[in-house]
Amino acid sequence: MHQIKLTTPSGNTEISVGENLSAGLKTLVPTPVLLVDEHVLCEHQDSFDSFQSISIPSGERYKNMHTVENIYRELVNLEIDRSSMIVGVGGGLATDVAGFVASTYLRGISFGFISSTLLGQVDASIGGKNGVNLDGYKNIIGNIRQPSFVWCDLSLLKTLARKEYISGIAEVIKYGAIWDVEFLKYIKDHMTGLLNLDLKVLEHVVTVSAQIKVEVVQKDERESDLRRILNFGHTIGHAIEREKKVMHGQAVSVGMVMAAQLSHNLGLLPASDVDIIQNLLKAAGLPFELELDPEVIFQNIRKDKKKSGEHIHFVLLDGLGKTLIKSISLSELKPMIDDLC
Ligand code: GLY
């Protein structure tokens, strides 16, 4: 098992990466109330049956204030007070909702996460972003509060749908592309092991990804500067996700190729490095192109919450493993999107 500590002004998190971590729930004091993704609850009944639990409906369309309100009511009915602890169990959607509920119910009670998807383990469960969507705008309501622990239980990945697992690999490749060329090479050399859920490979990949995220978040918890680099591929990726209804990682994969291509067009990244990223995504079974309507993509980007005024903080690659955040005006961006689509 590997452990990583995240220390920020809003709280500290102990992150653990290993097998069968969920068994540790029995030793938690106080006895937790679980907020569990409904599918995870079905698949792993044995692990979570003996606890008080509230299920979180699966699916992006349920990630809203209505679901949050229902959970508040259940917590009231269960007479959960400030001495209790909430544990969110599931992928990014469940932990985002559980973190938001826990950090607002009774003005915030202590909470932790058991992350059950690759995407959750390497990204969503780490860094304290909690929240829900409103009217199709992703994560537009939320806060930043750190869970006291995150358990990346690798055993839970075995029951994950294949497409969902591969979606998580996009975020893993992102870390290599923005931060660590050695890691990018490791992913390339161990792609077969990663695709086969080889435990040693998985443990390394999840641990290094979590370490990179921790390093970034510790330097800029509130995303005023450096943390923006974690959005590499996401500006276009989120716009694709709205339009195409593809999974997050698949949309981000196409978004990363387009952001890399834009970096190349702006003279920052050699074409051979764009190929390296594209080939790695392809080897993982991720899409690297889609038929896109440039006008729809542009309009979706306009609505993105990361837009500040008339500008977008666009994350570019200034060589592999290095980023450059460029403030691009919407009028400059329009022809770029036309060109990329
Ligand atoms: N998923 C990006 C972040 O946590 O900042």
Q: Name which residue sits closest to atom 3 of ligand 1, judged by CA.
A: 230
Q: Write down the catalytic residue from 39, 44, 63, 129.
A: 129
- Going by pLDDT thresholds of 50, 70 and 90, the confidence category of residue 309 is confident
Q: Which pLDDT does position 158 carry in this prediction?
A: 94
Distance, in Å, from the CA atom of 70 to the CA atom of 227, rounded to the nearest integer, reads 32
**Active-site hit among 39, 133, 171, 174:** 171
Looking from the CA of residue 228, the nearest atom of ligand 1 is 5
Are 19 and 36 in contact by the 8 Å Cβ rule? The answer is no
Q: What is the pLDDT of residue 49?
A: 86
- Mean pLDDT, the chain, rounded, equals 95
Active site includes 227?
A: yes
DSSP summary character for residue 153: E
Task: Please calculate the CA angle 242-248-251 and round it to the nearest 5 degrees.
Answer: 70
Residue 213 is among the residues annotated as catalytic for this protein: yes
Of 139, 213, 228, the one to substitute when testing ligand 1's pocket (max ligand atoms within 8 A of C-beta) is 213
**Among this protein's residues, is 107 annotated catalytic?**
yes
Is the predicted pLDDT of residue 62 greater than 80, yes or no?
A: yes
Q: Which atom of ligand 1 is nearest to the CA of 129?
A: 4
pLDDT band, very low/low/confident/very high, at 308 (cuts 50, 70, 90):
low
Look up residue 12 and give its two tokens. Answer: 């500290």
Could you say which of 174, 234, 242, 264 is catalytic?
Answer: 234
99 with 87: CB under 8 angstroms? no
CA of 126 to the centre of ligand 1 (A): 8
Q: Record the tokens describing residue 310, joined without a space.
A: 């008339």
In contact, 242 and 253? CB cutoff 8 Å: no
What's the confidence (pLDDT) of residue 128? 98
Per DSSP, helices labelled H in the chain are 38-43, 45-48, 65-77, 92-104, 118-119, 162-179, 181-189, 191-195, 199-219, 234-244, 248-265, 271-283, 294-303, 330-340
Of the candidates 25, 196, 227, the residue with the CA atom closest to the CA atom of residue 123: 227
Taking CA atoms, 328 is separated from 158, 324, 333, 336, in Å, by 42, 12, 6, 10
pLDDT reading at 230 higher than 60 = yes
Residue with tokens 């995150």: 150
- Enumerate the β-bridge partners of residue 56: 37
Asked whether the beta carbons of 177 and 184 are under 8 A apart, the reply is yes
Can you give the pLDDT at residue 194? 98
Protein residue with its CA nearest to atom 4 in ligand 1: 127
CA of 69 from ligand 1 middle (Å) equals: 25
Give the distance (Å) from ligand 1 centre to CA of residue 242: 18
Binding-site residues, ligand 1, Cβ < 6 A: 123, 127, 129, 223, 227, 230
Q: Distance (Å, rounded) from C-alpha 7 to C-alpha 99?
A: 17
Residue 227 CA, closest ligand 1 atom number: 5
Q: What does the DSSP 8-state code read for residue 31?
A: P
Span from the CA of 313 to the centroid of ligand 1 (angstroms): 14
Domains of the chain in start order, with CATH, are: 2-159 (3.40.50.1970), 169-340 (1.20.1090.10)
Instruction: Answer yes or no: 234 catalytic.
Output: yes
Phi then psi for residue 114, to 5 deg, are -110, 115
- Say which amino acid occupies 317: L
Mutate to test the pocket of ligand 1, among 117, 123, 212, 214 (most ligand atoms within 8 A of CB): 123
As a whole-number percent, the residues of the chain with pLDDT over 90 amount to 84
As a whole number of Å, the CA-based R_g of the chain is 19
Q: Is the pLDDT of residue 136 over 80?
A: no
Does 64 score more than 80 pLDDT? yes
Check pLDDT > 90 for residue 339: no
pLDDT band for position 305 (cuts 50, 70, 90):
low
CA of 168 to the centre of ligand 1 (A): 13
Contact 303, 296 (CB under 8 A): no
Q: Kindly tell me if the per-residue pLDDT of 109 is higher than 60.
A: yes
Q: What is the pTM of this model?
A: 0.95
pLDDT confidence of residue 137: 81
- Residue 124 CA: nearest ligand 1 atom is 1
Q: What gap in Å lies between CA 201 and CA 87, rounded to an integer? A: 27
pLDDT at 29: 84
- Residue whose CB lies within 8 A of the most ligand 1 atoms, among 224, 230, 323, for a mutation test: 230
Q: What is the mean pLDDT of residues 124-129?
A: 98
Helix boundaries (H) for 3-153 = 38-43, 45-48, 65-77, 92-104, 118-119
pLDDT greater than 70 at residue 199: yes
pLDDT at 185 over 70: yes
Rounded Cα distance between 32 and 141, Å, is 25
181-206: average pLDDT:
98
Which residue has a Cα nearest atom 2 of ligand 1? 230
Across-strand partners of 52?
A: 33
Tens digit of each residue's pLDDT (9 = 90 or more) over 312-337: 899 999 999 999 999 998 888 899 99
Whole-angstrom distance, CA of residue 68 vs CA of residue 257: 35
